[in-house]
Amino acid sequence: MDQPKIERLLRIVKLLQDSDVDYTIEEIAQRVNVSYRTIYRYLDTLETVGFVVINKSPGVKKLCVEKRKAFDFSKLIHFSEEEAFVIDQLIEALDETNVLKQNLRRKLATVYDCAPIIQSVVQGRKAANVNRIVDAIRRKKQVILKNYSSSSSNTIRDRLVEPFELSQNYVQVWCYEPESGKNKLFKMARIEETELLSTGWQFESAHKSKAVDVFRCAMESPFRIKLLLGVRAHNLLIEEYPLAERDVSRCEDGRWMLDTVVQGFAGVGRFVLGLAHDIEIVESDELKNYLKKELQIAECNLLK
């Protein structure tokens, strides 16, 4: 079996193993871009290698495994945009004559079906949590974020939410929280466990996300900033916030200029305060005033 056929076969397996969505033969054929007769031939192939094809209802097929364990497609979840950006940079760095370069791009685009790359295999509790949230968004269901650790409220408790949009870096998720009546950005790493509820969205008309800056912060008012960065600050910026590389340019004096729009100053403020000796604020006065207030608060707290 040639490479394109193998790739189509894997996509069919993924669709048929989805326990929450029923696809007809015609729908699968349309998604894979082959005839429905070809789908039946693929199903025959799957049966020969240990899969059992179940007739769930007229025209609807499902897969299970008879004796051997199949690959767990439920662990396929989104790459973050940052991760996809780094992978794209690594692939781009390969020489044009390297046969692996185009093969990597083609296979990733074919298997994961969009660009930038949005799926990968990850391990552990985070994979399960993200997978449930992705599922909840697709099915428009409510979710309980169990023991969510909130820095803003300094609490650890369960949160009932309606997740509706993954953030640009895919380590956060936009949710509407009925308790507060607000749309909030929740960090995946702060979720201990997730519970997918059978209850559908109740407040879909209120769902609204906001812009998220390269420092992963979402606020009401955007501000343009310009920072001159030394070597240490530049290196740490790119390591911690990979998407910032798109807004960085090299200066003649060997430093780097970060020219970007931030959604408020909480994220960039923490970064600047931690590397104040290696950063010069070229623009904005609002950021300077914000940092002055933060330093005053810090001085009061530390010198009590």
Q: How many residues would you count in the chain?
A: 304
Is residue 223 within 8 Å of 178, Cβ to Cβ? no
Alpha-carbon distance of 171 to 222, in angstroms, equals 21
Query: Where would I find the H helices in the chain?
Result: 3-16, 25-32, 36-48, 81-92, 99-112, 124-139, 231-240, 266-274, 285-302
Asked if 148 and 159 count as a contact pair (C-beta separation under 8 A), the reply is yes
- pLDDT band at residue 37 using 50, 70 and 90 as cut-offs: confident
- CA Rg, the chain, in Å? 24
Q: Write b or e for each residue in 200-229: b if 16 or more Cβ atoms lie within 10 A of its Cβ, otherwise e.
A: ebeeeeebebeebbbbbbbbeeebebebbb
Q: Burial, 1: exposed, middle or buried (Cβ in 10 Å; 0-12, 13-18, 19+)?
A: exposed
Does the N-terminal peptide bond of residue 4 adopt cis geometry, omega within 30 degrees of 0?
no
Could you tell me the CA-to-CA distances from 125 to 12, 81, 193 in Å, in that order?
Answer: 27, 20, 8
Res 207: pLDDT: 95
Entry pTM: 0.52
Distance of CA 159 to the CA centre of its chain: 20
How many angstroms separate the CA atoms of 215 and 274, rounded?
14
> For residue 132, what pLDDT band results from cuts at 50, 70 and 90?
confident
Q: What is the pLDDT of residues 220-277, one digit of tens each?
A: 678 899 999 999 999 999 888 888 888 999 999 999 999 999 988 888 999 999 999 9
**pLDDT tens per residue, range 159-192:** 999 999 876 545 788 999 999 999 998 988 899 9
Q: Which residue has the higher pLDDT, 94 or 38?
A: 38
3-state secondary structure 103-160: HHHHHHHHHHCCCCCCCEECCHHHHHHHHHHHHHHHHCEEEEEEEEEECCCCEEEEEE
Structure tokens at 234: 């530049």
Tokens of 156: 């650890």
C-alpha distances in angstroms, 55 versus 10, 16, 114, 263, 270? Answer: 19, 11, 30, 51, 57
Cα separation of 116 and 90, whole Å? 13
In this structure, of 6-20, 96-110, 184-198, 249-263, the range with the lowest mean pLDDT score is 96-110
How many whole angstroms separate alpha carbon 140 and alpha carbon 143? 10
Residue 259 in 3-state DSSP?
strand
